[in-house]
């Protein structure tokens, strides 16, 4: 079969990866080349419609029962390699014996060093970096910008393994499953690789096949990440506010989901149903007969990738219409469907016709519930009415976590942010700058955001950037405004009000029926003396550690003082026994021991920096 795609694995990106992570997850192999040769204006470049990661919201359990949950023994050789790579890129302080802050440096330099270190450590760590790029609550904006450039790229595995996995998963040899199957993969990544094929009915498809040893390798790397996270937590003081174990747990859940390709298939199926019959948007069909936990088969879309579009052959008006078509597609997903594609990168958008686009790579997807939309509506209303003091509560209702003792500072920063843009027209506002400043505020306040809203912010920011590249005067807020307005109006239609009243009435009725039982249970526990009161003191462990060090030093100081006094008394009153230079030998030994302990104590104080 003739091949129209360039064979550049970097262009296709990963077949099993995570583009995360802001690109939050590797981009699908089915992406056409992101930096390949430019296609002609009329040329049609096939693009696979298979996503890469499976971090969507499809139901189903990840088929990893055969994998050990977490390695109990540390791979010392691999950890030593990690330490060497970290030291080479300026992060060696994580593995030395002291707890301290990282060296100061230019923000762009530290982000670049971290990106290069993760890239050198391999695909699993690249995916972890992609996850971090979606966490503005724990990672500074300059580092996020660098981590978004991470790409997952590995060598393909043998075609014999592909045939074996297909036989094990689909129960038939490859020759009976497909009329044609290209032995050379279009792209390969750490979890799988994608092949182009033709079904017996003549349909062209993209088939993603998982690596045989992917689960084992991922579990080994996860065990190392837990160890590295513990070291970072213990020895990097600036990261005290980050729960490194929680971040690694989040990554572990994400990447283990990727091992079940049915999650991505469900996402693709949902988007396909939502846009069924749409005149301007095409979503590839899922072939469930040829899809299993380790095999994903999607319709093969043909078109010119947006990243390869020769814009100089398009008129300004055509580019404007294309930019607004893309933005309206995402606004429809967000505000009407409640389920949105999480990675609107130009490599995931195909131009099928001048006013028709196709989407690929459904591994990264977000879902907003009806309750989320109601709470967002209240947030919009308060923002429109300049009720800034209510915004922290509205954000807390959405799941945003912030320190209550910093609420006044939070409100003050929101006032400053609001004042800067209030009254300006949409044409005067740079949406990318606003989102960048919002991420800076999130990091400065140590806010904790639910993943779905981080993904939503990132998707809107990416759509804004893509639109601006196509049409310089594009403003994503202009597209979002009518959708947001219709959302607010729809929330208060009689049908919605009645439905909400009915739902909340049932909830209140349930609470009222449960209340007497809860009061009775509480009184019984008080009577039986079984009431437990939990007490949490933030920072108590650090305080106890400092107190322990203080008492140890005090004891050593007392021993030194006692040794000096005792040795002096022995030297004065002891007349019998061996003497050295006229001083009793026990007195000499006491002075030496006290001197050694005193020097050790002084060195410890100097080393701590608290002399």
Burial class (CB in 10 A: 0-12, 13-18, 19+), 396: middle
Q: Measuring CA to CA, how many Å separate 504 from each of 232, 371, 507, 510, 517?
A: 45, 11, 5, 10, 21
First to last CA, the chain: 75
In a domain, 73, yes or no: yes
In a domain, 269, yes or no: yes
- Burial letters for 443-460: b for 16+ Cβ neighbours within 10 Å, e otherwise? bebebbbebbbbbbbbbb
More confident residue, 436 or 294: 294
The active-site residue, picked from 26, 343, 361, 372, is 343
Helices (H), 5-158: 9-12, 76-88, 107-121, 123-132, 141-147
pLDDT tier for residue 435 given thresholds of 50, 70 and 90: low
> 260 catalytic, yes or no?
no
pLDDT tier for residue 437 given thresholds of 50, 70 and 90: confident
The C-alpha atoms of residue 221 and residue 216 are separated, in whole angstroms, by 9
Amino acid 537: pLDDT: 66
Range among 139-153, 290-304, 419-433 rated most confident: 290-304
Residues 578, 511, single domain; the answer is: no
Residues 210, 133, single domain; the answer is: yes
Flag whether pLDDT at 334 surpasses 60: yes
Amino acid 33: pLDDT: 34
In a domain, 319, yes or no: no
253: tokens are 């859940």
Residues 553, 573, single domain; the answer is: yes
More confident residue, 527 or 280: 280
Residues 513, 599, single domain; the answer is: no
Residues 99, 3, single domain; the answer is: yes
Domain hosting 515: range is 504-530
Residues 25, 80, single domain; the answer is: yes
The arithmetic mean of pLDDT across residues 405-424, rounded, is 78
In a domain, 164, yes or no: yes
The C-alpha atoms of residue 462 and residue 468 are separated, in whole angstroms, by 10
The fraction of the chain above a pLDDT of 90, given in percent, is: 18
Residues 508, 598, single domain; the answer is: no
Any idea what DSSP says for residue 515?
H
Flag whether pLDDT at 240 surpasses 60: no
Flag whether pLDDT at 471 surpasses 60: yes
The arithmetic mean of pLDDT across residues 474-492, rounded, is 77
Nearest residue to 377 via CA among 321, 324, 335, 323: 335
The arithmetic mean of pLDDT across residues 473-502, rounded, is 77
Cite the beta strand spans of 27-181 per DSSP E. Answer: 46-47, 180-181
SS3 399: coil
Bridge-partner residues for 192, per DSSP? 210
The arithmetic mean of pLDDT across residues 504-521, rounded, is 87
Which residues, at least 6 apart from 512, have a Cβ–Cβ distance to it below 8 Å? none
Amino acid 326: pLDDT: 94
In a domain, 337, yes or no: no
Residue 531 dihedral angles phi and psi, to the nearest 5°:
-75, 125
Amino acid 181: pLDDT: 96
**Poorest-confidence range of 145-154, 437-446, 542-551, 574-583?**
145-154
Amino acid 67: pLDDT: 37
The C-alpha atoms of residue 354 and residue 184 are separated, in whole angstroms, by 32
More confident residue, 102 or 190: 190
Which residue, chain included where needed, has tokens 């992609």?
A: 130
The C-alpha atoms of residue 161 and residue 227 are separated, in whole angstroms, by 32
Flag whether pLDDT at 59 surpasses 90: no
| Helical (H) or strand (E) element with 368 | none
Amino acid 346: pLDDT: 85
Burial class (CB in 10 A: 0-12, 13-18, 19+), 573: exposed
CB neighbours (10 Å) of residue 369?
Answer: 10
CB neighbours (10 Å) of residue 585?
Answer: 13
Flag whether pLDDT at 596 surpasses 80: yes
Amino acid 476: pLDDT: 79
Say what the alpha-carbon torsion angle 64, 168, 124, 189 is, to the nearest 10 degrees. Answer: -150
In a domain, 154, yes or no: yes
Contact criterion met (CB below 8 Å) for 79 and 286: no
Q: At what angle do helices 76-88 and 214-235 cross, to 10 degrees?
A: 60
Say what the alpha-carbon torsion angle 428, 431, 432, 437 is, to the nearest 10 degrees. Answer: 90
In a domain, 376, yes or no: no
> Taking all residues of the chain, what is their mean pLDDT, rounded to a whole number?
75
Flag whether pLDDT at 241 surpasses 70: no
Residues 513, 571, single domain; the answer is: no
Q: How many structural domains compose the chain?
A: 3
Question: Judging by DSSP bridges, how do beta strands 356-359 and 281-282 pair with one another?
Answer: parallel
Residues 92, 135, single domain; the answer is: yes
Bridge-partner residues for 208, per DSSP? 194, 296
Residues 270, 296, single domain; the answer is: yes
pLDDT tier for residue 170 given thresholds of 50, 70 and 90: very high
Amino acid 284: pLDDT: 93
Amino acid 538: pLDDT: 63
In a domain, 243, yes or no: yes
pLDDT tier for residue 4 given thresholds of 50, 70 and 90: very low
pTM here is 0.64
Residues 181, 245, single domain; the answer is: yes
Residues 98, 75, single domain; the answer is: yes
590: tokens are 């006491």
Last residue of a domain, one of 483, 512, 530: 530
Please give the angle made by the CA atoms of 254, 457 and 397, to the nearest 5 degrees. 85
Amino acid 54: pLDDT: 36
The arithmetic mean of pLDDT across residues 305-324, rounded, is 89
374: tokens are 């109601």
Flag whether pLDDT at 58 surpasses 60: no
Residue 448 dihedral angles phi and psi, to the nearest 5°:
-110, 120
């Amino acid at each position: 079969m003739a091949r129209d795609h360039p064979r550049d694995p970097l262009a296709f990106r990963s077949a099993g990866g995570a583009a995360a992570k802001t690109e939050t997850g590797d981009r699908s192999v089915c992406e056409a080349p992101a930096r390949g040769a430019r296609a002609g204006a009329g040329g049609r470049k096939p693009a696979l419609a298979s996503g890469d990661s499976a971090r969507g919201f499809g139901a189903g359990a990840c088929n990893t029962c055969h994998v050990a949950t977490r390695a109990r023994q540390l791979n010392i050789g691999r950890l030593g390699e990690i330490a060497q790579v970290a030291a080479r890129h300026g992060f060696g302080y994580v593995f030395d014996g002291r707890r301290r802050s990282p060296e100061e440096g230019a923000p762009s330099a530290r982000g670049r060093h971290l990106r290069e270190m993760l890239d050198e450590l391999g695909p699993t760590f690249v995916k972890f970096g992609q996850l971090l790029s979606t966490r503005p609550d724990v990672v500074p904006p300059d580092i996020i910008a660098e981590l978004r450039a991470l790409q997952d790229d590995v060598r393909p595995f043998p075609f014999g393994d592909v045939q074996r996995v297909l036989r094990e998963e689909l129960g038939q040899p490859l020759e009976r499953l497909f009329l044609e199957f290209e032995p050379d993969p279009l792209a390969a990544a750490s979890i799988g690789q994608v092949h182009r094929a033709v079904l017996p009915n003549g349909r062209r498809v993209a088939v993603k096949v998982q690596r045989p040893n992917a689960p084992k390798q991922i579990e080994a790397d996860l065990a190392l990440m837990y160890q590295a996270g513990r070291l970072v937590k213990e020895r990097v003081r600036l990261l005290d506010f980050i729960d490194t174990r929680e971040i690694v747990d989040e990554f572990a859940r994400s990447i283990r989901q990727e091992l079940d390709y049915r999650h991505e298939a469900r996402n693709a199926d949902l988007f396909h149903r939502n846009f069924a019959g749409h005149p301007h948007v095409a979503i590839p069909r899922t072939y469930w007969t040829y899809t299993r936990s380790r095999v994903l088969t999607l319709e093969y879309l043909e078109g010119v990738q947006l990243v390869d579009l020769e814009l100089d052959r398009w008129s300004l008006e055509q580019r404007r219409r294309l930019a607004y078509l893309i933005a309206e597609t995402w606004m429809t997903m967000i505000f009407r469907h409640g389920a949105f594609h999480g990675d609107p990168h130009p490599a995931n958008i195909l131009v099928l016709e001048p006013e028709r686009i196709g989407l690929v790579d459904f591994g990264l997807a977000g879902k907003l519930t009806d309750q989320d939309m109601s709470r967002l509506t209240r947030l919009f209303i308060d923002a429109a009415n300049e009720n800034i003091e209510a915004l922290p509560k509205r954000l807390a209702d959405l799941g945003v976590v912030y320190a209550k003792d910093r609420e006044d500072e939070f409100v003050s920063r929101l006032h400053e942010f609001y004042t800067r843009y209030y009254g300006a027209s949409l044409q005067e506002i740079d949406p990318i700058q606003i989102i960048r400043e919002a991420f800076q505020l999130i990091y400065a306040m140590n806010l904790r955001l639910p993943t779905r809203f981080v993904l939503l912010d990132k998707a809107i920011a990416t759509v804004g950037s893509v639109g601006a590249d196509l049409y310089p005067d594009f403003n994503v807020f202009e597209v979002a405004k009518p959708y947001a307005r219709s959302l607010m109006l729809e929330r208060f239609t009689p049908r919605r009000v009645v439905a909400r009243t009915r739902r909340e009435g049932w909830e209140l009725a349930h609470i009222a029926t449960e209340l007497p039982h809860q009061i009775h249970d509480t009184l019984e526990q008080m009577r039986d003396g079984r009431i437990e009161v939990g007490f949490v003191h933030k920072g108590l462990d650090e305080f106890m550690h400092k107190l322990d060090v203080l008492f140890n030093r005090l004891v050593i100081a007392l021993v030194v003082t006692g040794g000096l006094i005792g040795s002096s008394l022995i030297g004065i009153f002891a007349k019998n026994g061996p003497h050295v230079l006229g001083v009793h030998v026990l007195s000499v030994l006491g002075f030496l021991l006290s001197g050694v302990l005193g020097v050790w104590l002084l060195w410890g104080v100097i080393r701590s920096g608290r002399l």
